[in-house]
Structure 1
């Protein structure tokens, strides 16, 4: 239960800080760089805050990758998923209460009317590739051969850079739970496009983790 609570709090914080920066700060005040740093900073903070308890996955794709790499069992992965999706929904609900609306909660998307108006193909490629690279950094920086104590910084900086590169493409997910919370409350287009932010991160996680499972990167 302590691990589930940690994952719940961690995912809630990621959504509240990251999406909160996008919604409450936005382009006028913090800009794309500020939003990117909010997501990365949230991960760094939670890595050291809840990392010793649960490993700070706060992302179903990461938990899937850790499972594929042989570092957790199926039952534990499924319990993490429950906590992560619940935490993301709670974080989005808190943000909605602050904003007073569910119309704009930092939801992910693509196509006409969404940020850079990139195509579905571009969104799919971006999310797959970036999730795979993100997972590679996570599994590598948390391996027994990696320098101790620096994983949180490496992971947080990587997430921030991914956002700097890709906010205009999809708003950046690489995390099904992060997409789930805002989309469920916002509904409409965000909910209809949610499938991509489940499928692409899962494919990316499988690719990245399989390289470790096959001992090609370990």
Structure 2
């Protein structure tokens, strides 16, 4: 554990950087006084810009020296899934998850220091994630689907030598698509620590259980399916050749 504390700090810094980017780009694109709101009046185009920004942020973090060293999980749901897959030990998993929550809070706190009251206006509200007008059921389904697909893509591509170099860019592309399509439904989180970081400052905990349960359930489900589909099947003891042999007396 003592040898791994730099990795824990890196994981915290990675989510802090992600939240800093999320908050500042939300101010830029959605604050009523922002010129971008008038330059890009269409809500779909603004979501596309937000998706590009956050997808690029994720790619930059994963490709960074710290991201390469720590594994760039910066998401408790990913860490729990990797624990299930045996890619991380229990003690490191607990420390990673604690670092994620600390990093999420730190990132929003730094954003509040930089953006001031602009981060607190209702249109921005600390980039909080809450269900959209379709309700909690739709938000849960969206978060579940996004988390499951993300983990399926990560496991499928990263374990194939020809596709592994493109895994990071596929993750960035997914984030772009998720924000474009699903942000109005759930706010787009798939990360409990990301949701908590914003909720603490916004003091808004609407249906927060969704952002814990759905990402973890979705990613673990994909991991279980991946294990079942890829694990070698045991050979039967009695083969076709055994059946053809004549019994001896």
**Residue 175 of structure 1 pairs with residue 191 of structure 2:** yes
What pairs up with 1:136-155 in 2 under 5 angstroms?
Answer: 136-143=152-159, 145-155=161-171
Give the structure 1 partner of residue 115 of structure 2. 99
Give the structure 2 partner of residue 10 of structure 1. 14
Q: Distance in 2 between matches of 1:213 and 1:71?
A: 13
Deviation at 1:79, TM superposition (A): 1.1
Structure index of larger Rg: 2
TM-score by length of 2: 0.78
Give the structure 1 partner of residue 176 of structure 2. 160
Q: Distance in 1 between matches of 2:71 and 2:182?
A: 26
Q: Distance in 2 between matches of 1:181 and 1:65?
A: 21
Structure 2 regions of 5+ residues with no counterpart? 31-35, 41-45, 233-249
Q: Distance in 2 between matches of 1:22 and 1:207?
A: 31
What value does the CA root-mean-square deviation take over the aligned residues? 2.0
Q: Distance in 2 between matches of 1:148 and 1:120?
A: 35
Give the structure 2 partner of residue 47 of structure 1. 62
Are residues 33 and 217 of structure 1, via their aligned partners in 2, closer, same or farther at CA, if it must alter by over 3 Å? farther
Give the structure 1 partner of residue 219 of structure 2. 205
Using CA pairs under 8 Å that are at least 6 residues apart, name the structure with larger relative contact order, 1 or 2: 1
Structure 1 regions of 5+ residues with no counterpart? 112-116
Would the aligned equivalents of 2:55 and 2:172 in 1 still touch at CA under 8 Å? yes
Q: Distance in 1 between matches of 2:76 and 2:172?
A: 17
TM-score by length of 1: 0.89
Paired residues, what number?
211
Deviation at 1:66, TM superposition (A): 1.4
